[in-house]
Structure 1
Amino acid sequence: MPFARLATATTPTCHIGLGLAAVGRPGYINLGRDDDLGDDRSVDTLRTRSHQLLDAAYAQGVRYFDVARSYGRSEEFLADWLNARPQVNDVVIGSKWGYTYTAGWSADAETHEVKDHGLATYERQRAETDALLGDRLDLYQIHSVTPDSPALTDKDLHARLAEAAAQGLTIGFSTSGPAQADAVRAALAVTVDGEPLFRTVQSTYNVLETSAGPALAEAHAAGLTVIVKEGMANGRLAAPHAPQALRAVAEETSLGCDAVALAWILRQPWAGVVLSGAATVAQLASNLHAPVVDLDADQLTRLATLAEDPRAYWERRGQLPWH
């Protein structure tokens, strides 16, 4: 399994990954995006920015990079970066299928992505991903599985995913929504010929949204690698939007709210990789302080009080504008 490579790493940042959701397309729902990206969001500009982030992350020990078919040109940007650096052979590459990007490189599109977990979409998007990343792809995840997703019951799809696994590709899934825990547990029960199909799970988890925690612990105990996404709650945990309790702890540690928020996740014993969704090199540098943040019991308890009802959390997330 490719994540075994990370398990033997000794750098403090080996449990941090870089996701390109925020820089692979001109529009996204993260707060502060106008300040982060400015007005120039051409393909070439975001390609350059992606490469700068990848260079900075790699130089500082990050070895997992995360993209998706729906993240605009993120796979293309990552593929270009890898092709220009043939000496980079110690990274783990993950992508996702199940959403189709439909915004046409516009931040103002009426519909930015369309979800479909059917076999035909898998076949089409797998070919598209393969054309870009080829044998550099280590992990292919079903994007945003919910308890009612047909991907959990489609035996033909399971068979095709099992074939890909037999050929060396690690198969995983990501989750979204207030019922993430139910989706994780349902996916853990999916087997092909008596063997578990999924080897990784990627879920939203942060100090505001902790509901998936027990299920992620179960997934870890079952042998899956747990990847945490949206650790910054789409910018809600970054200054100046961070709640006062997080700001207070950050001041006590003399580090940023972002580093503290990600450090809190890294303290979870089941957290294998925590994604940075940085849009600037400065944000990335601040995020990468997370592994060395020392949080005491009182600080951990104070941060734990920030947890929201998952339905309220996801309702608010759903109201964030694309910009």
Structure 2
Amino acid sequence: MPFARLATATTPTCHLGLGLAAIGRPGYINLGRSDDLGENRGVEALRTRTHELLDAAYAQGVRYFDAARSYGRSEEFLADWLKARPDVDDVVIGSKWGYTYTADWSTDAERHEVKDHSLAAYERQRVETEALLGDRLDLYQIHSVTPESPALTDKELHARLAEAAGGGLTVGFSTSGPAQADAIRAALAVTVDGEPLFRTVQSTYNALETSAGPALAEAHDAGLTVIVKEGMANGRLAAAHAPEALRSVAEETGLGCDAVALAVVLRQPWAGVVLSGAATTAQLASNLHAAAVDLTDDQVSRLAGLVEEPGTYWERRGQLPWH
């Protein structure tokens, strides 16, 4: 599997990756976007910002980069960066299919993305991704699987994914929603010719939303690489919005709320790669300090008090505005 390259990395940030959801398109649901991006969110401005973040991440030891068809032009920006740096051959590139970007580079579109887990959607988006990333693509994930997703039961789709895996592409899935654990366990049961189909899982896990933890541990034990997204809870755990317990622990460590929040995830024994969703190089540098955070048992206990009921967490996330 391509993640073996991460396991052999020598930098302390080898288990931190960079996700491009926040910078591949002008509108997203993260809090604080106006401060992060300002008014200039044209294509070239975000292309430049993406390349600066990728350069900074690579220089600091990050080796996994995560995009998606629905992240605006994230695949395009990433492909441009890779082409301009032909000597960068030690990174792992992941993307996702299953959502189509529909906002037409607007922050106030009626719909920003449309979900479709059909075989036809896979075939169309696989061609689109391949046209941009070509053989640099290591991992292709089904985007936001839920227990009712047809991708869990579509045998023809499974056969096509297995065919791609046979050609050297790692096949994975991501999850969202209050029933993440159920979706993970259902996906673990998907096989083709008696062999498990999926080799990676990417799920939301953070100091506020921990419900997927036991299922992610099961996935890890089954041999899957676990990628964690939204470790900052879409900005709810950043300093400007952080709850008092997190601010207190951060002050004790001498590091930022973001570093502490990501350290909570990194300390999970099943966490293979934890994504930073930074929109600025300063945010990225602060996020990467998570590798240096050593939480005490008392601090861990206090942070455990932040956990929300999954339905409450996902309801609040669903109310965050695209901006």
Smaller-chain TM-score bracket: over 0.9
- 1:45 equivalent in structure 2: 45
Give the counterpart letter for 1:234 in structure 2: N
Tell me what 1:75 maps to.
75
Offset from partner CA, 1:123-170 (integer Å, 9 cap, x none): 000000000000000000000000000000000000000000000000
User: In structure 1, what residue type is equivalent to 2:124?
Assistant: R
Deviation of 1:290 (Å): 0.3
The corresponding residue for 1:132 is: 132
Tell me how far apart the structure 2 counterparts of residues 303 and 65 of structure 1 sit (CA, whole Å): 28
Q: Identify unmatched segments of 5+ residues in structure 2.
A: none
Tell me by how many angstroms 1:195 deviates.
0.1
The Cα RMSD (Å) is 0.3
Aligned to 1:15: 15
**CA-to-partner distance for each residue in 1:261-319, whole Å, 9 max, x for gaps?**
00110000000000000000000000000011110100011111100000000000000
Partner residue of 2:255?
A: 255
Specify the code of the residue in structure 2 equivalent to 1:291: A
Distance, in Å, in 2 between the alignment partners of 1:303 and 1:72 is 34
Give the corresponding residue for 1:310.
310
1:157 matched residue in structure 2:
157
Q: CA deviation at 1:244?
A: 0.3
AA paired with 1:250? A
- SS of match in other structure, 1:148: coil
Query: Which residue of the partner structure matches residue 240 of structure 2?
Result: 240
Residues 53-132 of structure 1: pairs in structure 2 closer than 5 A:
53-132=53-132
For residues 1-60 of structure 1, the C-alpha deviation after alignment (integer angstroms, 9 at most, x for no partner) is 000111111210000000000000000000000000000000000000000000000000
Q: Which amino acid aligns with 1:252?
A: E
**Aligned position for 1:268:** 268
Q: Does 1:28 align with 2:33?
A: no
For 1:10 and 1:152, the matched residues in 2 are separated by 37
What SS is found at the alignment partner of 1:12? coil
Aligned letter for 2:147?
P
Fraction of identical pairs, as percent: 85
- Match for residue 208 of structure 1? 208
Once residues 291 and 218 of structure 2 are traced to their aligned partners in structure 1, the CA distance between those partners, rounded to angstroms, is 23
Q: Distance in 2 between matches of 1:10 and 1:248?
A: 32
One-letter amino acid of the counterpart of residue 21, structure 1: A
Q: Aligned partners of 2:250, 2:87: CA distance in 1, in Å? A: 38
Q: Distance in 2 between matches of 1:216 and 1:176?
A: 13
Structure-1 separation of matches of 2:293 and 2:176: 28
1: CA distance, partners of 2:116 / 2:70: 11
SS at match of 1:288: helix
By how many angstroms is 1:243 displaced?
0.4
Could you tell me how far apart the structure 2 residues matched to 1:301 and 1:164 are? 44
Instruction: Give the drift of 1:77.
Output: 0.1
Task: Give TM-score scaled by structure 1 length.
Answer: 1.00
Indicate the residue corresponding to 2:295 in structure 1. 295
Counterpart amino acid of residue 5 in structure 2:
R
- Counterpart of 2:141? 141
Q: Aligned equivalents of 1:59 and 1:5: distance in 2?
A: 16
Matched AA of 2:36? D
1:30 alignment partner AA: N
1:13 alignment partner, SS class = coil
CA–CA separation in structure 1 for the residues paired with 2:304 and 2:269? 15
* C-alpha separation in 2, matches of 1:43 and 1:301: 44
Unaligned runs of at least 5 residues, structure 1: none
Alignment partners' CA distance in 2, 1:180 and 1:237: 20
Equivalent residue number for residue 319 of structure 1? 319
User: How many Å separate the matches in 2 of 1:240 and 1:30?
Assistant: 12
d(CA) in 2 for partners of 1:201, 1:71: 19
In the alignment, the residues of structure 2 paired with residue 147 and residue 30 of structure 1 have an alpha-carbon distance, to the nearest angstrom, of: 25
Measure the CA separation in 2 of the matches of 1:30 and 1:249: 23
More displaced 10-residue stretch of structure 1: 2-11 or 279-288: 2-11
Deviations 1:67-90 (A, max 9, x none): 000000000000000000000000
